[in-house]
Amino acid sequence: MYYQDEFMKKDSGLTLCSGRQTAIGRIGIAESGGVVTNLYFLDKAGDRIAETGCSPLLDEAFRQLDAFLAGRIHAFSLPVATEGTEFSLRVWRALLDIPYGGTASYGDIAVAAGAPGAARAVGSACRRNPLPIIIPCHRVIGGDGRIGGYLGGTEIKRHLLDLERLNDR
């Protein structure tokens, strides 16, 4: 995976955005400079993108997303770039260590990000995750086992968690 060890820096080149219907609703994906930069839940009120075109990378991102949502792959193999605070970047890296089909609490991720006691800040970083599903913030749950919030809504979060549990064999 291109982002496993280190997040790439976003290029300021041309940004392309495309939206498509998926098993969980209409999703938008953006790329810039040869890296995937954002994933959007377009069925959510307020999440809109200007569709500026497609590219082989966006086609591949949607192919992998469809395969993930069908349970055929368990991880993405895409070049990605994210921008965020140093803490957010540490949180997003820690999310990549949560195994497919597993979960971790906000507190667990705070510890993994080097900030014990910062569970609420982990929640904020998850809300700012520019690549939900690809960087699996849906695997983060409350310390009491409650599902917690999700960018795409709790129904989609529950669907993703159930999908992973069913296909983690």
Task: Give me the active site residues, please.
Answer: 137
Classify 14 as helix, strand or coil. coil
Q: Three-state SS for 114?
A: coil
The set of residues, in sequence order, having a beta carbon less than 8 Å from that of 128 and lying 6+ positions away, is 84, 88
Contact 84, 125 (CB under 8 A): yes
In one letter, which amino acid is 23?
A
